[in-house]
Structure 1
Amino acid sequence: MPRFYTVDRRGTLHEGQTLGLTRYDDVTPAVLQQHLDVLFPDGVAAHGANNFVSADARFQVTDHVIELAWENVRRAHFPTAPSRFQSVFAVDSLDEARAFRTAFDPTGTAKIWRLETEHDGFRVNMELLRTHVSALMSSHHAHCYWSQKSPDYEVPVTWEVLLTPPVQVLGLAE
Protein backbone atom coordinates (compact mmCIF):
# COMPACT_ATOMS: atom_id res chain seq x y z
CA MET A 1 0.00 0.00 0.00
CA PRO A 2 1.25 3.52 -0.76
CA ARG A 3 2.75 5.43 2.18
CA PHE A 4 2.79 9.19 2.69
CA TYR A 5 3.60 11.81 5.32
CA THR A 6 1.50 14.58 6.83
CA VAL A 7 2.19 17.47 9.19
CA ASP A 8 -0.29 17.59 12.07
CA ARG A 9 -0.48 21.34 12.78
CA ARG A 10 -3.70 20.90 14.79
CA GLY A 11 -2.31 18.15 17.00
CA THR A 12 -5.27 15.82 16.44
CA LEU A 13 -3.68 12.68 14.98
CA HIS A 14 -2.70 9.51 16.84
CA GLU A 15 -1.33 6.12 15.90
CA GLY A 16 -3.91 3.65 14.61
CA GLN A 17 -6.43 6.36 13.74
CA THR A 18 -8.49 6.08 10.56
CA LEU A 19 -9.10 9.39 8.83
CA GLY A 20 -12.42 9.57 7.04
CA LEU A 21 -15.33 11.82 6.25
CA THR A 22 -17.66 13.38 8.81
CA ARG A 23 -21.29 14.05 8.02
CA TYR A 24 -22.69 17.08 9.83
CA ASP A 25 -26.34 17.29 10.84
CA ASP A 26 -26.29 20.33 13.14
CA VAL A 27 -25.54 23.24 10.80
CA THR A 28 -27.77 26.26 11.27
CA PRO A 29 -29.73 27.79 9.73
CA ALA A 30 -31.38 24.77 8.12
CA VAL A 31 -30.87 26.12 4.61
CA LEU A 32 -27.08 25.86 5.12
CA GLN A 33 -27.47 22.28 6.33
CA GLN A 34 -29.42 21.49 3.16
CA HIS A 35 -26.76 23.18 1.03
CA LEU A 36 -23.99 21.18 2.73
CA ASP A 37 -25.95 17.95 2.25
CA VAL A 38 -26.36 18.65 -1.47
CA LEU A 39 -22.68 19.49 -2.01
CA PHE A 40 -21.16 16.80 0.22
CA PRO A 41 -23.73 14.09 0.95
CA ASP A 42 -20.99 11.72 2.16
CA GLY A 43 -19.48 14.33 4.49
CA VAL A 44 -16.23 16.26 4.58
CA ALA A 45 -12.69 15.54 5.78
CA ALA A 46 -11.02 17.64 8.48
CA HIS A 47 -9.94 20.19 5.84
CA GLY A 48 -13.56 20.58 4.71
CA ALA A 49 -14.76 20.90 8.30
CA ASN A 50 -12.22 23.64 9.01
CA ASN A 51 -12.28 25.49 5.70
CA PHE A 52 -15.82 25.01 4.43
CA VAL A 53 -18.12 24.26 7.34
CA SER A 54 -16.59 26.27 10.18
CA ALA A 55 -14.10 28.57 8.41
CA ASP A 56 -11.33 28.25 11.00
CA ALA A 57 -8.68 30.55 9.54
CA ARG A 58 -5.92 29.71 12.06
CA PHE A 59 -4.41 26.96 9.91
CA GLN A 60 -4.99 28.42 6.46
CA VAL A 61 -2.45 28.00 3.67
CA THR A 62 -4.77 29.93 1.37
CA ASP A 63 -8.05 31.80 1.85
CA HIS A 64 -11.66 30.64 1.74
CA VAL A 65 -12.43 32.41 -1.53
CA ILE A 66 -9.62 30.54 -3.29
CA GLU A 67 -10.77 27.25 -1.72
CA LEU A 68 -14.31 27.85 -2.97
CA ALA A 69 -13.16 28.96 -6.44
CA TRP A 70 -10.95 25.86 -6.75
CA GLU A 71 -13.84 23.64 -5.66
CA ASN A 72 -16.14 25.19 -8.24
CA VAL A 73 -13.55 24.77 -11.01
CA ARG A 74 -13.12 21.14 -9.95
CA ARG A 75 -16.87 20.51 -10.01
CA ALA A 76 -17.30 22.20 -13.39
CA HIS A 77 -14.24 20.91 -15.26
CA PHE A 78 -12.57 18.08 -13.28
CA PRO A 79 -15.42 16.20 -11.56
CA THR A 80 -13.39 12.99 -11.19
CA ALA A 81 -10.65 14.76 -9.20
CA PRO A 82 -10.99 14.49 -5.41
CA SER A 83 -12.41 17.50 -3.61
CA ARG A 84 -9.97 19.32 -1.32
CA PHE A 85 -12.83 19.41 1.19
CA GLN A 86 -12.98 15.60 1.18
CA SER A 87 -9.24 14.90 1.17
CA VAL A 88 -6.45 14.22 3.60
CA PHE A 89 -3.32 16.19 2.66
CA ALA A 90 0.07 14.54 2.49
CA VAL A 91 3.44 14.56 0.78
CA ASP A 92 5.57 11.76 -0.63
CA SER A 93 8.68 12.08 1.54
CA LEU A 94 9.82 12.93 5.03
CA ASP A 95 11.98 15.74 3.61
CA GLU A 96 8.91 17.28 1.94
CA ALA A 97 7.00 17.03 5.24
CA ARG A 98 9.85 18.78 7.06
CA ALA A 99 9.87 21.55 4.43
CA PHE A 100 6.10 21.99 4.80
CA ARG A 101 6.43 22.18 8.58
CA THR A 102 9.17 24.80 8.27
CA ALA A 103 7.02 26.88 5.90
CA PHE A 104 3.65 26.59 7.63
CA ASP A 105 4.20 25.84 11.32
CA PRO A 106 5.67 28.95 12.95
CA THR A 107 6.42 27.05 16.17
CA GLY A 108 8.15 24.19 14.34
CA THR A 109 6.61 21.74 16.81
CA ALA A 110 3.97 20.04 14.66
CA LYS A 111 4.42 16.28 14.51
CA ILE A 112 4.97 14.45 11.24
CA TRP A 113 3.00 11.22 10.81
CA ARG A 114 3.27 8.33 8.38
CA LEU A 115 0.05 7.54 6.52
CA GLU A 116 -1.12 4.61 4.45
CA THR A 117 -3.96 4.28 2.00
CA GLU A 118 -5.05 1.96 -0.79
CA HIS A 119 -4.86 4.75 -3.40
CA ASP A 120 -1.90 6.47 -5.03
CA GLY A 121 -3.30 9.91 -4.31
CA PHE A 122 -3.76 12.94 -6.52
CA ARG A 123 -0.55 15.04 -6.85
CA VAL A 124 -0.96 18.77 -7.34
CA ASN A 125 1.14 21.91 -7.00
CA MET A 126 -0.11 23.66 -3.86
CA GLU A 127 1.75 26.87 -4.86
CA LEU A 128 -0.95 27.41 -7.48
CA LEU A 129 -3.34 28.17 -4.61
CA ARG A 130 -1.17 31.09 -3.51
CA THR A 131 0.37 32.66 -6.61
CA HIS A 132 -2.15 34.81 -8.44
CA VAL A 133 -2.71 38.49 -9.10
CA SER A 134 -5.72 38.63 -11.40
CA ALA A 135 -8.96 36.72 -11.85
CA LEU A 136 -7.60 35.43 -15.18
CA MET A 137 -4.41 34.11 -13.55
CA SER A 138 -6.38 32.60 -10.64
CA SER A 139 -8.66 30.82 -13.10
CA HIS A 140 -5.67 29.52 -15.06
CA HIS A 141 -3.96 28.34 -11.88
CA ALA A 142 -7.10 26.50 -10.78
CA HIS A 143 -7.24 24.69 -14.12
CA CYS A 144 -3.51 23.87 -13.93
CA TYR A 145 -3.95 22.61 -10.36
CA TRP A 146 -6.77 20.21 -11.21
CA SER A 147 -5.13 19.05 -14.46
CA GLN A 148 -1.97 18.31 -12.41
CA LYS A 149 0.18 20.51 -14.66
CA SER A 150 2.36 23.52 -14.07
CA PRO A 151 1.81 26.70 -16.06
CA ASP A 152 4.24 27.59 -18.86
CA TYR A 153 5.55 30.53 -16.82
CA GLU A 154 7.56 30.59 -13.62
CA VAL A 155 5.57 29.33 -10.64
CA PRO A 156 7.22 27.65 -7.65
CA VAL A 157 6.40 23.98 -7.21
CA THR A 158 5.45 22.38 -3.91
CA TRP A 159 3.76 19.04 -4.47
CA GLU A 160 0.97 17.94 -2.17
CA VAL A 161 -0.97 14.72 -2.42
CA LEU A 162 -4.74 14.64 -1.93
CA LEU A 163 -5.65 11.31 -0.36
CA THR A 164 -9.17 9.95 -0.54
CA PRO A 165 -10.33 8.51 2.81
CA PRO A 166 -10.10 6.14 4.48
CA VAL A 167 -6.48 6.91 5.39
CA GLN A 168 -4.64 5.08 8.18
CA VAL A 169 -2.30 6.90 10.57
CA LEU A 170 0.58 4.44 11.02
CA GLY A 171 2.75 6.29 13.52
CA LEU A 172 5.15 9.13 14.05
CA ALA A 173 7.72 9.61 11.30
CA GLU A 174 10.24 11.22 13.66
Structure 2
Amino acid sequence: MEKYYTLDSANSLFPFHEITLRYHTPKQPELAEFLNQIHPDGLSKHGYNYLYNPALFDEDHHRDNALLIGLILELVRRSEFPDKPSRYQSLFACQEISEVKQFRELLANERGDDGIRTAPIYEVRNQNPVHRGDMRLLNSDGPILDIYRRAHLYWSGESLTYANGEDPFWEILIPLPASTGRRVTE
Protein backbone atom coordinates (compact mmCIF):
# COMPACT_ATOMS: atom_id res chain seq x y z
CA MET A 1 0.00 0.00 0.00
CA GLU A 2 1.40 3.37 -1.07
CA LYS A 3 1.47 6.39 1.23
CA TYR A 4 0.99 9.99 0.04
CA TYR A 5 0.30 13.32 1.74
CA THR A 6 -2.60 15.73 1.24
CA LEU A 7 -3.30 19.27 2.40
CA ASP A 8 -6.59 19.81 4.18
CA SER A 9 -7.11 23.46 3.25
CA ALA A 10 -10.85 23.20 4.04
CA ASN A 11 -10.24 21.62 7.47
CA SER A 12 -12.69 18.86 6.64
CA LEU A 13 -10.56 15.72 7.08
CA PHE A 14 -9.71 13.69 10.13
CA PRO A 15 -7.49 10.68 10.79
CA PHE A 16 -8.40 7.21 9.53
CA HIS A 17 -11.41 8.32 7.52
CA GLU A 18 -12.61 7.16 4.11
CA ILE A 19 -13.04 9.94 1.57
CA THR A 20 -15.71 8.99 -0.93
CA LEU A 21 -17.35 10.35 -4.03
CA ARG A 22 -20.52 12.33 -3.39
CA TYR A 23 -23.66 12.81 -5.39
CA HIS A 24 -24.69 16.35 -6.21
CA THR A 25 -27.96 17.25 -7.86
CA PRO A 26 -28.13 20.58 -9.64
CA LYS A 27 -31.52 22.28 -9.38
CA GLN A 28 -31.93 22.36 -13.15
CA PRO A 29 -33.18 18.89 -14.22
CA GLU A 30 -31.25 18.97 -17.50
CA LEU A 31 -27.97 19.64 -15.64
CA ALA A 32 -28.74 16.96 -13.06
CA GLU A 33 -29.38 14.43 -15.82
CA PHE A 34 -26.21 15.42 -17.69
CA LEU A 35 -24.05 15.29 -14.55
CA ASN A 36 -25.38 11.84 -13.71
CA GLN A 37 -24.66 10.75 -17.29
CA ILE A 38 -21.01 11.90 -17.29
CA HIS A 39 -20.18 11.02 -13.66
CA PRO A 40 -22.69 8.38 -12.49
CA ASP A 41 -20.40 7.39 -9.59
CA GLY A 42 -20.38 10.91 -8.15
CA LEU A 43 -17.78 13.65 -7.72
CA SER A 44 -15.05 14.63 -5.33
CA LYS A 45 -15.38 17.94 -3.51
CA HIS A 46 -12.98 19.42 -6.08
CA GLY A 47 -15.08 18.00 -8.91
CA TYR A 48 -18.25 19.55 -7.56
CA ASN A 49 -16.54 22.91 -7.06
CA TYR A 50 -15.05 22.94 -10.55
CA LEU A 51 -18.08 21.61 -12.42
CA TYR A 52 -21.01 23.18 -10.70
CA ASN A 53 -20.61 25.04 -7.39
CA PRO A 54 -22.39 28.36 -8.03
CA ALA A 55 -20.50 29.93 -5.09
CA LEU A 56 -17.30 29.83 -7.16
CA PHE A 57 -18.73 31.94 -9.95
CA ASP A 58 -18.44 35.66 -9.43
CA GLU A 59 -19.27 38.65 -11.58
CA ASP A 60 -15.61 39.43 -12.23
CA HIS A 61 -14.89 35.91 -13.52
CA HIS A 62 -11.71 35.59 -11.43
CA ARG A 63 -11.84 31.81 -11.42
CA ASP A 64 -12.89 31.29 -15.04
CA ASN A 65 -9.38 30.41 -16.26
CA ALA A 66 -8.86 27.73 -13.60
CA LEU A 67 -12.31 26.26 -14.28
CA LEU A 68 -11.71 26.20 -18.04
CA ILE A 69 -8.27 24.62 -17.65
CA GLY A 70 -9.93 21.97 -15.47
CA LEU A 71 -12.48 21.30 -18.20
CA ILE A 72 -9.80 21.13 -20.91
CA LEU A 73 -7.87 18.63 -18.81
CA GLU A 74 -10.98 16.51 -18.30
CA LEU A 75 -11.85 16.54 -21.99
CA VAL A 76 -8.30 15.58 -22.99
CA ARG A 77 -8.32 12.82 -20.38
CA ARG A 78 -11.65 11.45 -21.60
CA SER A 79 -10.62 11.48 -25.25
CA GLU A 80 -6.97 10.43 -25.08
CA PHE A 81 -6.27 8.96 -21.60
CA PRO A 82 -9.52 7.28 -20.47
CA ASP A 83 -7.65 4.94 -18.11
CA LYS A 84 -6.35 7.86 -16.03
CA PRO A 85 -8.35 8.97 -12.97
CA SER A 86 -10.57 12.01 -13.41
CA ARG A 87 -9.47 15.12 -11.55
CA TYR A 88 -13.18 15.53 -10.76
CA GLN A 89 -13.20 12.20 -8.91
CA SER A 90 -9.83 12.27 -7.18
CA LEU A 91 -8.02 13.52 -4.12
CA PHE A 92 -4.88 15.59 -4.71
CA ALA A 93 -1.73 14.65 -2.89
CA CYS A 94 2.07 14.76 -2.98
CA GLN A 95 4.64 12.01 -2.61
CA GLU A 96 6.66 13.77 0.11
CA ILE A 97 5.76 15.86 3.14
CA SER A 98 8.16 18.58 1.96
CA GLU A 99 6.22 18.85 -1.32
CA VAL A 100 2.84 19.27 0.35
CA LYS A 101 4.34 21.93 2.65
CA GLN A 102 5.64 23.74 -0.43
CA PHE A 103 2.18 23.49 -2.01
CA ARG A 104 0.59 24.85 1.18
CA GLU A 105 2.87 27.89 1.01
CA LEU A 106 2.12 28.44 -2.71
CA LEU A 107 -1.62 28.20 -2.07
CA ALA A 108 -1.47 30.62 0.88
CA ASN A 109 0.42 33.15 -1.26
CA GLU A 110 -1.93 32.70 -4.23
CA ARG A 111 -5.05 33.17 -2.13
CA GLY A 112 -3.57 35.75 0.24
CA ASP A 113 -4.81 33.58 3.10
CA ASP A 114 -2.40 33.17 6.00
CA GLY A 115 -4.80 30.67 7.59
CA ILE A 116 -3.82 28.13 4.95
CA ARG A 117 -0.23 28.22 6.24
CA THR A 118 -1.40 26.22 9.26
CA ALA A 119 -3.79 23.89 7.42
CA PRO A 120 -3.29 20.28 8.48
CA ILE A 121 -1.56 17.64 6.39
CA TYR A 122 -2.72 14.02 6.38
CA GLU A 123 -1.26 10.78 5.19
CA VAL A 124 -3.33 9.10 2.51
CA ARG A 125 -3.11 5.38 1.94
CA ASN A 126 -3.98 3.92 -1.39
CA GLN A 127 -3.83 0.62 -3.26
CA ASN A 128 -5.27 1.75 -6.59
CA PRO A 129 -3.34 3.14 -9.57
CA VAL A 130 -2.69 6.88 -9.29
CA HIS A 131 -1.62 9.52 -11.78
CA ARG A 132 1.44 11.72 -11.37
CA GLY A 133 1.22 15.00 -13.31
CA ASP A 134 3.14 18.26 -13.33
CA MET A 135 0.88 20.86 -11.74
CA ARG A 136 2.96 23.70 -13.26
CA LEU A 137 1.50 22.78 -16.67
CA LEU A 138 -1.98 23.81 -15.50
CA ASN A 139 -2.26 27.42 -16.54
CA SER A 140 -3.81 29.42 -19.33
CA ASP A 141 -0.63 31.11 -20.55
CA GLY A 142 -0.17 31.00 -24.29
CA PRO A 143 -2.27 30.01 -27.28
CA ILE A 144 -4.90 27.27 -27.14
CA LEU A 145 -2.61 24.85 -28.99
CA ASP A 146 0.01 25.19 -26.24
CA ILE A 147 -2.63 24.67 -23.53
CA TYR A 148 -3.73 21.53 -25.37
CA ARG A 149 -0.12 20.32 -25.65
CA ARG A 150 0.47 20.91 -21.92
CA ALA A 151 -2.72 18.99 -21.07
CA HIS A 152 -1.38 16.11 -23.15
CA LEU A 153 1.99 16.31 -21.37
CA TYR A 154 0.19 16.36 -17.99
CA TRP A 155 -1.73 13.16 -18.74
CA SER A 156 1.39 11.55 -20.25
CA GLY A 157 3.19 12.15 -16.95
CA GLU A 158 5.74 14.33 -18.71
CA SER A 159 6.88 17.90 -18.15
CA LEU A 160 8.70 20.80 -19.79
CA THR A 161 12.02 22.50 -19.33
CA TYR A 162 10.92 25.75 -17.74
CA ALA A 163 12.58 28.96 -18.94
CA ASN A 164 12.72 30.36 -15.41
CA GLY A 165 14.56 27.27 -14.15
CA GLU A 166 11.66 25.94 -12.07
CA ASP A 167 11.37 22.23 -11.54
CA PRO A 168 8.12 20.37 -12.22
CA PHE A 169 5.71 20.25 -9.29
CA TRP A 170 4.35 16.72 -9.26
CA GLU A 171 0.85 16.20 -7.94
CA ILE A 172 -0.65 12.80 -7.35
CA LEU A 173 -4.28 12.12 -8.31
CA ILE A 174 -5.71 9.44 -6.06
CA PRO A 175 -9.05 8.10 -7.31
CA LEU A 176 -11.74 8.02 -4.64
CA PRO A 177 -12.52 6.33 -2.40
CA ALA A 178 -9.27 6.75 -0.47
CA SER A 179 -8.44 6.63 3.22
CA THR A 180 -6.65 9.17 5.36
CA GLY A 181 -4.01 7.99 7.76
CA ARG A 182 -2.54 9.93 10.64
CA ARG A 183 -2.36 13.70 10.77
CA VAL A 184 1.21 14.78 10.18
CA THR A 185 2.76 16.54 13.16
CA GLU A 186 5.06 19.40 12.31
Structure-2 separation of matches of 1:163 and 1:149: 18
Identity %: 30
Contact 2:69 2:140 in 1 (8 A): no
Letter in 2 for 1:135: I
Which sits farther off after the overlay, 76-85 or 44-53? 44-53
Does residue 33 of the first structure (1) align with residue 44 of the second (2)?
A: no
In structure 2, the partner of 1:170 is 181
Show structure 1 runs of 5+ residues with no match.
none
In structure 2, the partner of 1:100 is 103
Structure-2 separation of matches of 1:37 and 1:150: 33
Does residue 137 of the first structure (1) align with residue 146 of the second (2)?
A: yes
Contact 1:121 1:161 in 2 (8 A): yes
Deviation digits for residues 49-108 of structure 1 (CA, Å, limit 9, x no counterpart)? 2211215549x7x61011011111111111111110000000001100110011002311
| Alpha-carbon offset, residue 16 of structure 1 | 1.9
Alignment of 1:5-84 (within 5 A): 5-24=5-24, 26-54=25-53, 56-57=55-56, 63-84=66-87
- Provide the secondary structure at the position in 1 that maps to 2:132: strand
| Alpha-carbon offset, residue 151 of structure 1 | 3.4
- Provide the secondary structure at the position in 2 that maps to 1:63: helix
Letter in 2 for 1:126: M
Contact 2:92 2:172 in 1 (8 A): yes
Query: How many correspondences in the alignment?
Result: 171
Structure-1 separation of matches of 2:84 and 2:44: 15
In structure 1, the partner of 2:168 is 157
Structure-2 separation of matches of 1:91 and 1:149: 16
Letter in 1 for 2:172: V
- Provide the secondary structure at the position in 1 that maps to 2:118: coil
Letter in 2 for 1:96: E
Letter in 2 for 1:83: S
Contact 1:55 1:64 in 2 (8 A): no
Contact 1:116 1:167 in 2 (8 A): yes
Which sits farther off after the overlay, 130-139 or 33-42? 130-139
Deviation digits for residues 138-158 of structure 1 (CA, Å, limit 9, x no counterpart)? 010011011111136647410
Which runs of at least 4 in structure 1 moved beyond 2 Å after TM superposition?
Answer: 55-58, 151-156
| Alpha-carbon offset, residue 109 of structure 1 | 1.6
Contact 1:18 1:168 in 2 (8 A): yes
With over 3 angstroms needed to count, the CA separation of the structure-2 counterparts of 1:23 and 1:119, relative to structure 1, is same
With over 3 angstroms needed to count, the CA separation of the structure-2 counterparts of 1:55 and 1:6, relative to structure 1, is farther
In structure 1, the partner of 2:60 is none
> Normalized against structure 2, the TM-score is what?
0.85
